[in-house]
Amino acid sequence: MHQTEHTALRLGWRLRFSSAALKLLLSGLWLLIGVILLGWPDTAAGFGWLGRHAGMLARLSWAVIGMYLLPGLALLRWCYPAHWLTRAEQVALALGIGAGLPPLLLELAHLLHIPWSGWTTWGYAGLAALAWLWPQDGAGWRSQFAARLRPLGWHGTLLIGLTAMAVLVRLYAVRAMPVGAWGDSVHHTLLAKLLVEKHGLFSSWQPYVPLASLNYHFGFHSNAAFLHWLTGISVEQSVLLVGQLLNAWSAALAYALTVRLSGLRIAGLWAMALTAFVNIQPAFYVNWGRYTQLTGQVVLVAVLITWMLAIEHSTWRWRTLLPAIITSTGLFLSHYLVTIWAAVFLSAYLLVVVAVYPRWSMLKQVVGRSALIGVGVGLLSLPWMLNLLAVKRVLKLANGIVSGRSATVAENAALAALAPAYLKSWMIALMALGLLIALGQRRWRMLLCGLWTLLLLLLVIPFVLGLPLAGLVTGFAANIGIYVVAIPLAGYALGALIDILATQILPPLLAWRYKLIGPRWIGGTLYGLASALLIAVSLWGLSWQRHIVDPMFELFTPADAVAMDWINANTAPDATFLVTMLPAYAGNVFVGDDGGWWIPYFTKRKTTVPPLIYGSEVAEDPTYFQQVNALGNALKTHPLPTPEGIQIALDAGIDYIYVGPHIRPNTDYLRHDYQAMRYMPEQFPIVYERDGVVIYQLRPGS
């Protein structure tokens, strides 16, 4: 053998060994470094947290497998041919499908009068495992099991590793939070609690709030209830943990969407890293408790992908349409607003498909399959749609849009600057580059992301084109959700540049080395370096995301939790508490502003401000909505401890006044003078004061 060939052979084996060693080294060290960074500068903190919460993390791992992976993978296995999706895509897409199944199951159980509990949830996970492992085509159980658990490859390993890292940093960030943050978490947690206590869908909110309907989308809350049933973790913690898990799933779904649109797995990995560790959204959702929209966005990506698979393949069977039907129904039950986004996005996609393939056969294929999916979604959604019509939520929503205050509509239809709060400035530049590359390479599917981004913004300002329903989609809702369709373009720009370097630029430049290294090694080395950089960027994201929780948004503190125990032990069950009230949504409803808002959830005592959802549900007393708002407006005009305010509070049957430690930076509307009440001990005796929580008792004046 020629000396040059010997040299090339030895070099090739060394390079292969080095590549494998690099993969093993990166796979082993990257999570280790991540755990250390979680506890930086005290590196023992990260390991200590893992040790203290090993049991909880183990239960969460089982819940992830039983709730998300197994049901999603089983559905994909029985509905799609194996070659339609790579195994990494299957894992990512399964997470989105799994998030959309719990509300659909609770709806079906409600129709069949089947109470849902821990037993049924465990049975659901077990059936999903059986369906995933059931032998096909004459294969035995052992070979089937081995086939299901074969290695995912390097891209799949990166997908799993990045997702695990995203989960860890999100769980670490909320390690000290007793409940979810901000106002939305109050009714989200209460709804999940009622799903658990009433074993499924319900109409009465008693014993917490005097409401008598359920028309709020319940997808996120179903996920939280399922987690509680599978793990035994408290409902309030399940709400917080499921929200953080879904936040991590959004990154995995970014991978699946980008790969489906671009065909580049490295682009999908970059989109995933940008979503999980670089951009502030969706990580910042933890401060708003905006988990219902997040759930909708996770399921939205699954809807888009399953529709593409159902529409575009030339050969199909009825079951290839089933994932699109199931995910679309799950999205409708999870978030009404994001369902509108999906309808707009899919309409644009279907029109583009017909334009790209202008054939009569394609038109029939698109129309026929879309109609079949639509009929399936309509049939599965019909019971809940009838429920919405029965309580007139749809009519109420439409009336609010048409007759709402012009100032509110103008405010909601305003577009704020995207950078840096919603998208990084340089990421917007990468998006523009991704659009240019997609145009140059004629990747029409990738260009859909640009079209979807424009359509999402247009939903906020439809009046620009003379379209109705201004204010239906607020600028805030669009801005915090734009990452879903915008970041894949940025990831594609990075992935396409790497691909162009590996396949078009470097091989000609290094042609003189082909006999020793070959073009395949050039591409492999470049992709390996890109993967190492991607991991480094992800590790950098841990350094700031572990501190992403802003205490300003934490209405309920550990001090409030102690106060709830005191209230349970020392006040009558029918006691009524005045809590901090302030107008919201242009004065249409009142909301709380400290931990007192959680009193009904933890103590079943009455408060002067119910969960925000009272504005859209039917109350037991038809005048309840007006009573709450009238009291809030009266106390805003005559705050305590004015004589008028005292009389208003007494007439309302208020027994105690709760003041929590949470204080907003801007307190212009917090009109009650709590300090003055301290100097009126006969009328406002302090019955509890600890760690910033003060509870006054209200007594009639002499």
Least confident of 182-196, 456-470, 595-609: 456-470
Mean local confidence (pLDDT), 398-413: 46
pLDDT value at position 211?
94
* Bridge partners, 577 (sequence order): 607, 656
pLDDT value at position 429?
93
Least confident of 348-362, 367-381, 434-448, 658-672: 658-672
Residue 532 banded pLDDT, cuts 50, 70, 90? confident
Closest CA to 272 of 290, 286, 285, 259: 259
pLDDT value at position 502?
77
Residue 12 banded pLDDT, cuts 50, 70, 90? very low
Strand order in the sheet with 656-659: 606-607, 576-578, 656-659, 693-697, 686-690
Summarised one tens digit per residue, pLDDT across range 300-345 is 999 999 999 999 888 778 899 999 999 999 999 999 999 999 999 9
User: Does 444 have pLDDT greater than 90?
Assistant: yes
User: Does 603 have pLDDT greater than 90?
Assistant: yes
- CA 36: distance to chain centroid? 27
Tokens of 66: 């039983």
Summarised one tens digit per residue, pLDDT across range 187-246 is 999 999 999 999 999 999 999 999 999 999 999 999 999 999 999 999 999 999 999 999
Residue 29 banded pLDDT, cuts 50, 70, 90? low
pLDDT value at position 413?
53
Cα-Cα end-to-end distance for the chain: 111
pLDDT value at position 464?
66
pLDDT value at position 1?
46
Exposed, middle or buried by CB within 10 Å (0-12, 13-18, 19+), for 162? buried
pLDDT value at position 405?
41
pLDDT value at position 587?
79
Average pLDDT, the chain: 85
Report which of residues 520 and 698 the model is more confident about: 698
Report which of residues 264 and 156 the model is more confident about: 264
Residue 10 banded pLDDT, cuts 50, 70, 90? very low
Distances in whole angstroms, Cα of residue 129 to Cα of each of 70, 106, 122, 421, 613: 6, 20, 11, 41, 37
Mean local confidence (pLDDT), 87-104: 96
DSSP state of 86: -
Domain boundaries along the sequence of the chain: 26-545, 555-697
Q: How far is the C-alpha of 108 from the C-alpha of 106, rounded, in Å? A: 5
With beta carbons less than 8 A apart as the criterion, state whether 252 and 92 touch. Answer: yes
